[in-house]
Structure 1
Amino acid sequence: MRWLRDALWSEVMSGGFSGGLFPREADLMKSYGASRSTVREAIDLLRREGIVERIQGTGTLAVAHRNTMKLVEAHGFGDSVQRAMPGTASRVLAHEIVPMPRAAARRLACEPGEDALLIEYVGYQYGQILGLYSNYVRFPQAESVRTTPFRTHWYALLEKAGITIGETDFLIEVMAADQLLAGILEMEVGRPVLAMEQVIRDDAGDAFNYAVLRSRGDRMSVLSQAISPTFGIRKG
């Protein structure tokens, strides 16, 4: 039953069901070679997790969606970051000058306690909460970021501030949402959160931005793709 739940979960999150409407139980039984009781138990698990919902007279609907972003786009590169993150909006929780924390100072190669611009915000896509994001920006780059209106996503803000991204580093882990984070992200305590730390460097190679990123695991995933350097080379 758990394997079927995982298969259906993957289908839901990747948009595999047209219009979000689940197939009939009989169709799922045939497609997955499962018994009616197994199908019903798997769907009930998804319902309890908030992934699907039974609507009287309609059937079972997928009510969750996961945004999949290529890793190169998560870094701020790609053909168009704006096209990669459509429908984004931000609600700023903090926008102030604070002493640079030790963790941020270590990654930005500066002194703890020096002035830093903290911008903490909740990110949305099409009205759904994606995550909580905290950015520490060192001066002088912080000066232009500080006076730039922030409406959509972080990379758009940096672009409007006239800052070119030269390089970024990501540390990606998984954590469980504690009570405080769960309240902000409107999710259950203990649910998975995609936890990331990021360092952004400008086109001169100077680290200026340290970010702590917490995204809902049911609404965000990162896709990494790589091509072998020997792909397409015919061996003689």
Structure 2
Amino acid sequence: MTSENPTRTGSRRLRADRARQVADVLRRQVLGEAFADGALPREDELAEEFGASRNTVREALDLLRGEGLVRRVPGSGTLVVAEKVPHGLNRLQGLAETLHEHGEVVNEVRSFGPVRAPGPVARRLGLPEGADVVYVERLRRLNGLPLSLDLTYLAPDIGAELTAEALVDQDIFGLIEQVTGRSLGRADITLEAVNADAHSAAMLEVPRGSALLMLERLTSLSDGRPVDLEYVRFRGDRITMQGSLLRDIP
């Protein structure tokens, strides 16, 4: 048995750490369309800009290639091949409102109708145990490509006024405001990474077990009444969450 040179092992680890740092900065440039012609600078130029070795830059580009953001083209260098669309977290908006500048959002309504609310859902919507809610499952597409799978529980009086047909080409948020005559007030959100189960993977056309962005959102009317509880699974390779945060200092 031969032992690995600890100095060489430490060197590789440092290079891998540095490669991730370089990839993080380049990723934001790629997604932010900093490379207008779709081509990244040459490896030697990137090495100089980041103060890194060419091997480190190559490892960073390999990471981005693994994410499907760039590809190596002989004779042309490294090109941008995938674009993520930004989903803003600053305002309470539906997906079509958020992404209207990036193309057409189409809803495929896969399920719509009353169901008995699970206990946690009823409690979060301020409903009695065993109450019915209206359940909606939608596959959302952007420019024809699957982007998100939305599972929504609506307060029963609001859901009863909606139709599956209306949900095909309209955001739920706008429909809720039409039905209630009130504006939406706030939403409490949780964002986390989850693995794609068999159903989600099939709907979003990704391998089972792929990382998805899961947005849990409880939305209330301006009077504080909770009316909409959503679990939205986004394809992580097609969307990036963006927002601006202000620090309140006492």
Classify the TM-score, shorter chain: 0.7 to 0.9
Query: How many Å apart are 1:134 and its aligned residue?
Result: 0.7
Q: Within 5 Å, give how 1:153-172 maps onto structure 2.
A: 153-161=171-179, 164-172=183-191
Structure index of larger Rg: 2
Please say if 1:204 is aligned against 2:223. yes
RMSD between aligned alpha carbons?
2.8
* CA distance in 2 between partners of 1:208 and 1:224 (Å): 26
Query: How many Å apart are 1:13 and its aligned residue?
Result: 2.3
* CA distance in 2 between partners of 1:41 and 1:34 (Å): 11
* CA distance in 2 between partners of 1:147 and 1:178 (Å): 25
Please say if 1:84 is aligned against 2:98. yes
* CA distance in 1 between partners of 2:99 and 2:178 (Å): 16
SS of corresponding position for 1:34: coil
SS of corresponding position for 2:64: helix
> Which residue among 208, 211, 223 is the counterpart of 1:192?
211
SS of corresponding position for 2:111: strand
Query: How many Å apart are 1:107 and its aligned residue?
Result: 0.4
* CA distance in 1 between partners of 2:136 and 2:97 (Å): 23
* CA distance in 1 between partners of 2:208 and 2:39 (Å): 28
Specify the code of the residue in structure 2 equivalent to 1:130: L
CA contact (8 A) 1:89 1:153 kept: no
Task: Return the TM-score normalized by structure 2.
Answer: 0.76
SS of corresponding position for 1:72: coil
CA contact (8 A) 2:158 2:176 kept: no
Please say if 1:62 is aligned against 2:80. yes
* CA distance in 2 between partners of 1:164 and 1:203 (Å): 6
CA contact (8 A) 1:173 1:194 kept: yes
Query: How many Å apart are 1:229 and its aligned residue?
Result: 6.9
CA contact (8 A) 1:168 1:201 kept: yes
Residues 152 and 21 (structure 1 numbering): CA distance in 2 closer, same or farther, change over 3 Å?
farther
SS of corresponding position for 1:43: helix
Match of 1:234 in 2: none
Please say if 1:216 is aligned against 2:230. no
CA contact (8 A) 1:148 1:157 kept: no
1:60-118 Cα shifts (integer Å, max 9, x gaps): 22223233333232x239xxx86532122222221222222222111012134432211
Residues 55 and 126 (structure 1 numbering): CA distance in 2 closer, same or farther, change over 3 Å?
farther
* CA distance in 2 between partners of 1:147 and 1:122 (Å): 13
Match of 1:140 in 2: 157
Match of 1:131 in 2: 148
Residues 83 and 178 (structure 1 numbering): CA distance in 2 closer, same or farther, change over 3 Å?
closer
Percent identity, aligned pairs only, is 31
Query: How many Å apart are 1:120 and its aligned residue?
Result: 0.9
Unaligned runs of 5+ in 2: 1-18
* CA distance in 2 between partners of 1:158 and 1:113 (Å): 23
